[in-house]
Amino acid sequence: MVGFHANDAIRCEKFISDGTLIISEDLEYLGTGMYFWDSYSQANWWKTEKEKERIVSAVINTDDEDHFLNIQDPEYEELLAQMYDKADKVLSFGIKQKLEKYHLTLDQCVGLKLDLIFNTYKIFNQQIDVIKGIYTKKSKKDDFFYNTMFSRECVEIHCVRHEKAIVSRRWADGK
């Protein structure tokens, strides 16, 4: 799959030149890793929203099921729940401060739950290279889909945890 990432020019240059992942330690979405949108327009929205400078793209290997975790798959939901129940839930002081700052609880933070699982189960951590999730923004009142079961704002997000999942990379914004 081809994914798109928006960030500052220096980090994007480093990603293109030497393959260094631009790591985010996200609490709410999919945990620690480099995030890719499934479309250029979503990355461009993020670039504008977060005042980023450049957009890169990468071909990401999602074909190897042993190294790819789709959290939307019901089969994995039960496994993740079982692993999370047994995971070490000791939070660092820094994580506790972030939760307090953003008025979040551990139950609201899928990314933090995933990181706790990966920190507890080292083999699972080494095995999973890419996590896929669906990001849903709420429809606005003037949106055609408002108050319906549909949304044009459901987009795939991929969190790349290990560099080996990146097949190739390039600039996507033509600068």
Q: Which residues constitute the domain of residue 137?
A: 2-170
- pTM of the predicted model as reported, rounded to 2 decimal places: 0.88
Residue that has been written with the tokens 């190739």 in this structure: 168
Q: How confident is the model at residue 95 (pLDDT cuts 50, 70, 90)?
A: confident
Q: How many separate domains does the chain show?
A: 1
- pLDDT single digits (tens) 105-157: 888 889 999 999 999 999 999 999 999 998 776 656 666 766 666 666 778 89
Contacts with 153 (C-beta within 8 Å, 6 or more apart), sequence order = 136, 137, 138, 139
d(CA 15, CA 23): 10
More confident residue, 153 or 169: 169
* Per-residue model confidence (pLDDT) at position 136: 74
- pLDDT single digits (tens) 56-66: 999 999 999 99
- pLDDT single digits (tens) 36-93: 999 999 999 999 999 999 999 999 999 999 999 999 888 888 899 999 999 888 888 8
* Per-residue model confidence (pLDDT) at position 104: 86
* Per-residue model confidence (pLDDT) at position 145: 66
Farthest CA pair distance, the chain: 48
More confident residue, 147 or 164: 164
- Determine, yes or no, domain membership for 175: no
* Per-residue model confidence (pLDDT) at position 103: 87
Which of helix, strand or coil describes residue 132? strand
